[in-house]
A and B are shown apart, each in its own frame.
Chain A
Amino acid sequence: MTAISQRRSGAFVRRNGSQFIVIGLLVLLAITGFIVSDRFATVANIMNILEQSVTLALVSLGQTLTILTGGIDLSVGSMISLASVLLSGITNGDANMVAPAIAIVLALGIFVGLLNAAAVVWLRVHPLIVTLGMGAVLQGITLLYTMGPAGKMPLGFDWLAFGRVLGLPVGAVIAVALFLLTAAFLRYARLGRYIYAIGDDAIGAKLMGLPRTKVLLFVYAFSGFMASLTAIFLVSRFGVGQPYTGANFTLTSITPVVVGGTLLAGGRGGVLGTLLGVYLVSLLNNVLNFMDISSHYQLIVQGLIVIIAVSVYVEKKRTL
């Protein structure tokens, strides 16, 4: 009995070891923040960190699922840009158009994700290439639609980005709720288990007759949906959609995922690690700001963190 529970707790630590490292780093950063500025531990600053982390959280949630299947979605940045300009372009200041425009961009995100998955499954091309190509196509379409900021949002739409629910930022509450739901889905739903199985051992999953096509269609559609949702929050924050607004998200959406311990090879990790990764990145940028370190150096630090993270969690197998 004790032997079993000991083995269980050992497995627990091994499975979640990365999370402990990230939590340790979070604590370390928080202490640093305390030391460098007395404005760090204020309610205003904590709300600020929560608000700023929303978009990164949403897009990395979708990214985590594609990476868990051993794939990747490099089209999210362009998808965010396209959804942003469409949302504010279609709405164009008309409050009655907000709901239809949101429905359109969310549907478009799902559609693009389905196209990605279809190309991966039926053209048998690596997801990296498929989504890279899709990203270029979407960016081109975005620029055909508009070369500059498009349309505008009606007054009050910034509630999503700056509003409060129970004293907490709306977006942060939604993001955390989505992370918890997805975590439960991955752990308890059949489709969720299949995602791990396919990412861990594609051939074994095939031999067991797992529905790879269905899983990939779901995962990439989810990622496209989350990218569009990210765009909605971005537009709410800036008040307008811009054609390059999502450009940085393609790569930054991967950082929290790998920092959170999800292996690029697939099959290992989870969304809660990603959420910790998101807060690590956001807290890091916040603390660096308080330390008066310019955004140039913040880039260097972020790159180094990725290098350290991926060197610590040695991949079990090498992928692209």
Chain B
Amino acid sequence: MSQAVETNLSAAASGAENARNFLRQYALHIALVVLIILSALISPSFLSGGNVSNMLLQAAPLGIVVIGQAFVILVRGLDLSVASVMATAAVAATSFNGQDTDALLIFVVAIGIGLITGLVNGLLVAKRNVSPFLATLATMIVLQGMRSAWTQGAPSGNVPPFYRILGSDSIYGVPYNLVITGVLAVFFSVLLAKTTFGRKVYITGGNPVTARLLGINADWITITCYVISGGLAALAGLILSGFVGIVDNWVGRGFEIDSIVAAVMGGVALSGGRGTIAGGLVGAAILVVVFNSVLQIGMPIQMQIIIKGLVIVIAAAFYVRRAA
């Protein structure tokens, strides 16, 4: 009898424990669903086809950048140069004759710039022990200068139709850029979760000393993560240039902050070694939904910036508590 009660009690306790664990694990997803329901209730047009596809179009480039940013944060880094890489890739897209015949050349040049920037970032961080914040800040400034020197102030060319389609058209209602983001997300998630490289990324980020003792080439892992981030940022810049159509020197402005916010909100720990790409993408989705509902509700656009600021601190505080 008493034994049965005890079992019941412990079952109830573990039930509560399970519920709490469930809540903790899926807090982010629950937050996203609640946000969507709230937004839909407050503003009926929120779930209209036009608004949804608009949000998805906006989410895709951010998602691509977040994937790269997640890799860098996983190895205890931070990539502030992503927005600058995006703008430089976008400028590259307009630097040729604006025809589809140059699409491949543009791709090679833009992605090349991204990869090289990532390599420089990675070398500075891993080999020279420069803090990631400063290393990526410096490459950001250098790229910015090179860009405006190249364009002499403002870029003028056109984005080839190929990238226009990629950035703003849909197939069966699904934006092309979202398809690309999905494919990349699956590829890099598998890379992280199922390959030795992925395990090495987690170990290097979790504890670089352990990684070295295990014979992992931590420097090489770190550099690779920065290269991935640079390459993906360049791709996102190309796609975003196709979305907006007109390129200035600041395409992607704010993406460095947004991508960090999304990743941190999605549970990618700034202390390294913890987090997933899926989490980061949910973080990106929340960010896009929040931005969109701010406008849908009719609040001034400035509120977006204020809310972004509050969200980043609150999200970071939430994960600090959980880790403690």
Mask of B116-156 contacts with A, CB within 8 angstroms, 1/0: 00000000110011111111011111101110110011000
Check A310/B131 contact, CB under 8 A, given A140-B306, A318-B76: yes
Q: In the complex where A296-B148, A311-B128 touch, is A140 in contact with B141 (Cβ < 8 A)?
A: no
Contact A319 B306 (CB under 8 A): no
Q: Are A143 and B141 in contact (CB under 8 A)?
A: no
Contact B131 A264 (CB under 8 A): yes
Complex partner residue of B270 from A251, A296, A299, A320, CB under 8 angstroms: A320
Decide: A251 and B320 in contact? CB cutoff 8 A: no
Q: Given B139, B260, B305, which contacts A139 in the complex, CB threshold below 8 Å?
A: B305
Within 8 Å by CB of A143, from B132, B144, B302, lies: B302
Stretch in contact with the other chain, from B12-20, B24-32, B196-204, B311-319: B311-319
Pick from A72, A140, A264, A315: contact of B303, CB under 8 Å: A140
Q: Does A219 lie at the interface of the complex (its beta carbon under 8 Å from any beta carbon of B)?
A: no
| Distance to closest chain B CB from A115 (angstroms) | 10
Indicate with 1 or 0, residue by residue over A63-91, a CB within 8 angstroms of chain B CB atoms: 00000000010000000000000000000
Is the C-beta of B49 less than 8 angstroms from some C-beta in chain A?
A: no
A190 at the binding interface (Cβ < 8 Å): no
Contacts A129-B312, A132-B257 given: A265-B144 contact, CB under 8 Å?
no
Partner of A306, one of B134, B144, B308, B311: B134
Chain B's nearest CB lies how many Å from the CB of A242? 15
Please state if B149 and A296 are interface contacts (CB–CB under 8 Å).
yes
Interface pair B142/A143, CB less than 8 Å apart? no
Q: Which of A103-151 contact B (CB under 8 A)?
A: 119, 123-126, 128-130, 132-141, 143-144
Query: Which chain A residues lie closer than 8 Å to B257 at the CB level?
Result: 132, 136
Answer whether A133 and B312 are a contact pair too, CB < 8 Å, given A139-B305, A311-B128.
Answer: yes
- B138 to A306, Cβ gap below 8 A? yes
Q: Which residues of A contact B44 (CB under 8 A)?
A: none
CB atoms of A307 and B124 under 8 A apart: yes
Check A126 against B130 for contact (C-beta < 8 Å).
no
A-B contacts at CB below 8 angstroms, number = 150
Select A298's contact among B145, B260, B303, B311, beta carbons within 8 Å: B145
Neighbour of A124 across the interface among B130, B145, B307, B324, CB < 8 A: B324
Q: In the complex, how many angstroms separate the beta carbon of B255 from the nearest chain A beta carbon?
A: 14
- B309 contacts the other chain (Cβ, under 8 Å)? yes
Contact A310 B324 (CB under 8 A): no
A216 CB to nearest chain B CB (Å): 16
What's the Cα separation between A62 and B131 when bound, in Å?
A: 20
A47 to chain B, nearest CB (A): 28
Residues in chain B near residue A123, CB distance under 8 A: 313, 316-317, 320
Residue of B nearest to A258 (CB): B134
Asked whether any CB of chain B lies closer than 8 Å to the CB of A314, the reply is yes
> With an 8 A cutoff between CB atoms, is B228 at the interface?
no
With A136-B257, A264-B134 already in contact, the answer to whether A303 and B141 are too (CB < 8 A) is yes
Closest B residue by C-beta to A116 = B313
Chain B residues with CB below 8 A from A307, complex form: 124, 130, 135, 138-139, 142
**A265: chain B residues within 8 A (beta carbon):** 131
Interface residues of B, count at CB 8 A: 47
* Interface assignment of A297: CB less than 8 Å from any CB of chain B: yes
Q: Are B144 and A299 in contact (CB under 8 A)?
A: yes
* Complex-state Cα separation, A129 to B264, whole angstroms: 10
Roughly how many angstroms separate A305 CA and B304 CA in the complex, as a whole number?
35
User: Closest approach, in angstroms, between the C-beta of A74 and any C-beta of chain B?
Assistant: 9
Of residues 279 through 314 on chain B, the ones whose CB sits less than 8 Å from some CB of chain A are: 300, 302-313
Known: A132-B312, A315-B131, A320-B132. A297 touches B145 (CB 8 A): yes
B78 on the A face (CB < 8 A): yes
Across the interface, which residues of A come within 8 angstroms of B320, CB to CB?
123-125
Cβ B309 vs Cβ A137 within 8 A: yes
| Distance A304 CA – B313 CA, assembled complex (angstroms) | 32
Q: Return chain B residues, CB-CB under 8 Å to A318.
A: 76, 125, 129, 131-132
Taking CB atoms, residues of chain B closer than 8 Å to A137 are 305-306, 309-310
Instruction: Specify the chain A residue showing the minimal Cβ separation from B312.
Output: A133
Q: Which chain B residue lies CB-closest to A142? A: B302
Does A240 lie at the interface of the complex (its beta carbon under 8 Å from any beta carbon of B)? no
Q: Which residues of A contact B306 (CB under 8 A)?
A: 136-137, 140-141, 144
CB within 8 Å of A: which B186-219 residues: none
Smallest beta-carbon distance A40→chain B, Å: 23
Given the complex, which residues of A lie within 8 Å of B78, measured CB to CB? 128, 320
Contact yes or no, B313 A129, CB < 8 A = yes
Using A123-B320, A125-B316, A135-B309 as known contacts, list a sample of 12 further A-B pairs with CB atoms less than 8 Å apart, ordered by residue number in A: A128-B133, A129-B312, A133-B309, A133-B311, A140-B309, A251-B137, A264-B133, A265-B131, A296-B145, A296-B146, A303-B139, A307-B135
Q: Which residues of B contact A (CB under 8 A)?
A: 76, 78, 124-125, 128-135, 137-142, 144-146, 148-149, 152-153, 257, 260, 264, 270, 300, 302-313, 316-317, 320-321, 324
By Cβ-Cβ distance, the 4 closest A-B pairs, closest first, are A299-B145, A136-B309, A140-B306, A303-B141
A-B contact pairs, 25 of them (CB 8 A): A124-B320, A124-B321, A125-B316, A129-B313, A129-B316, A133-B316, A136-B308, A136-B312, A138-B309, A140-B305, A140-B307, A140-B308, A140-B309, A143-B305, A144-B302, A251-B141, A296-B146, A299-B148, A303-B145, A304-B142, A307-B130, A307-B138, A311-B128, A315-B131, A320-B78
